[in-house]
Amino acid sequence: MSLLQLPETLLQRAAQKLLSDSGRIWTCTNGDHVQILAPGIVNPHEGPDFTHTAVLHNGCVRIGTAEFHVRSSAWHEHGHAQDVRYDDVMMHVVLVDDRPADACKWTLILPHDEMGRALHALGERKEHDSSNVDEIQRSAVLRLNRATAFARSAIGRVGPVDALRVMTSQWFDRLSSKRRHPMPEDLVYGIRTAITTSPLGLLAVHISDCEPDQILTAFDIAERERIFTEGASLRREIVVNVILPVCCALANDAQRIALLQWYWSVRAVHPYGLLTRRFPDQDQAYVWQQQGMLEWLRRYG
């Protein structure tokens, strides 16, 4: 059977897998070069096929929806041009570009031979297999949402400043229960004591005062400064597990979008040995990928 005759839902999954290489540079039909940091979560309901798609273009991250069709003419045949649910689709992913959808910022044509290999890989995947792109990205979203809910609850009980201390203490407690060698007590105590007055802590507590378009820069500047005497790797862990959830809990909708841009676009400091062993075929270039795999392990072991 020809690739173009296969069920669109199957091809959609193959397209998602093919687009999961976050380091690859794609050329769209308008000549733009983009990186797809996160291919998006498959939407089983009415509306665009992928949600939470993250695209890097000219140094800026754009998060939105994407639509997959075998032929681009299906955009018009399915009436998407008149459907408000498709007004914000930023990328049209197709196998054949026979009638462009002008409403989409980008149209990306997938190579047929690579789609064939992606389909073959899908056929070898088992249920709850960690090679499922959807599972990893959904797990990354779940992990951040869960941490944000905990931060929101802590803020409601003790306020933003003390919530930072609570989040930091509980994260160190969880970390120490998993480590074979405990962290130095003076380092842990120093970070717990200094976090509220550090640049990162002050950014979290006062995130509501930060303009959305300045948040990525503010994160970059604040993260350069030590909280106590920790290295860059530990500081990034604290940002992801403490600072970011507190920021998300305190932010408004526009600020939260910018925080998600940071989450989808920031590169990992280094690969985790555990994840390399458990997921040898998975990329660890970005923080969200590592967070998604950690959450997958938490759920499936």
In whole angstroms, what is the distance from residue 3 CA to residue 114 CA?
Answer: 11
Q: What tokens appear for 114 in the block? A: 């690579």
Question: Burial of 201 by CB count in 10 Å (0-12 exposed, 13-18 middle, 19+ buried)?
Answer: buried
User: What's the rounded Cα separation, in Å, for the pair 105 and 87?
Assistant: 11
C-alpha 229/C-alpha 232 separation (Å) is: 10
Residue pair 265/225 in contact (Cβ under 8 Å)? The answer is: no
pLDDT of residue 129: 56
User: What band does 128 get if pLDDT is binned at 50, 70 and 90?
Assistant: low
pLDDT at 45: 87
**Token pair listed for 20:** 């999961």
The model's pTM: 0.82
Q: What is the 3-state secondary structure (H, E, C) of the chain?
A: CCHHHCCHHHHHHHHHHHCCCCCCEEECCCCCEEEEEECCEECCCCCCCEEEEEEEECCEEEEEEEEEEEECCHHHHCCHHHCHHHCCEEEEEEEECCCCCCCCCEEEECCHHHHHHHHHHHHHCCCCCCCCHHHHHHHHHHHHHHHHHHHHHHHHHHCHHHHHHHHHHHHHHHHHHHCCCCCCHHHHHHHHHHHHHCHHHHHHHCHHHCCHHHHHHHHHHHHCCCCCCCCHHHHHHHHHHHHHHHHHHHCCHHHHHHHHHHHHHCECCCCCHHHHHHCCCCCCCEHHHHHHHHHHHHHHC
Residue with tokens 């860059």: 232
Alpha-carbon Rg for the chain, nearest whole angstrom, is 21
Q: Flag whether pLDDT at 95 surpasses 80.
A: yes
pLDDT at 106 over 90: yes
The pLDDT tens digits of the residues spanning 2-13 come to 888 899 989 999
16-42: average pLDDT: 93
What is the rounded average pLDDT of the residues 260-278? 92
The pLDDT of residue 176 is 85
**Residue 254, burial from CB neighbour count under 10 angstroms (0-12, 13-18, 19+):** exposed
**Tens-digit pLDDT profile for residues 178-192:** 777 788 999 999 999
Reply yes or no on whether the pLDDT at 1 is more than 70.
Answer: no
pLDDT (0 to 100) of residue 68 = 97
Q: In the chain, pLDDT over 70 holds for what percent of residues?
A: 97
Q: What is the pLDDT at residue 2?
A: 84
Lowest mean per-residue pLDDT among 112-126, 189-203, 246-260: 112-126
How high is the pLDDT of residue 162?
Answer: 97
Average pLDDT for 15-21: 91
**Please, what is the average pLDDT of the chain?**
92
The sign of the torsion formed by the CA atoms of 165, 169, 170, 174 equals positive
* CA 96 to each of CA 18, 92, 102: distance values in angstroms, whole numbers, following the listed order: 16, 11, 15
- Cα angle for residues 233, 38, 269 (degrees, 5° grid): 10
* Band of pLDDT at residue 263, cut at 50, 70 and 90: very high
The predicted pLDDT at position 126 comes to 54
pLDDT of 109 strictly over 90: yes
Least confident range of 78-92, 93-107, 118-132, 190-204: 118-132
* pLDDT for position 182: 80
Q: Tell the residue number behind the tokens 């350069």, with chain if given.
A: 224
Each domain of the chain, given as residue ranges in start order, spans 3-124, 134-300
Residues 43-64: what's their mean pLDDT? Answer: 91
pLDDT of residue 250: 97
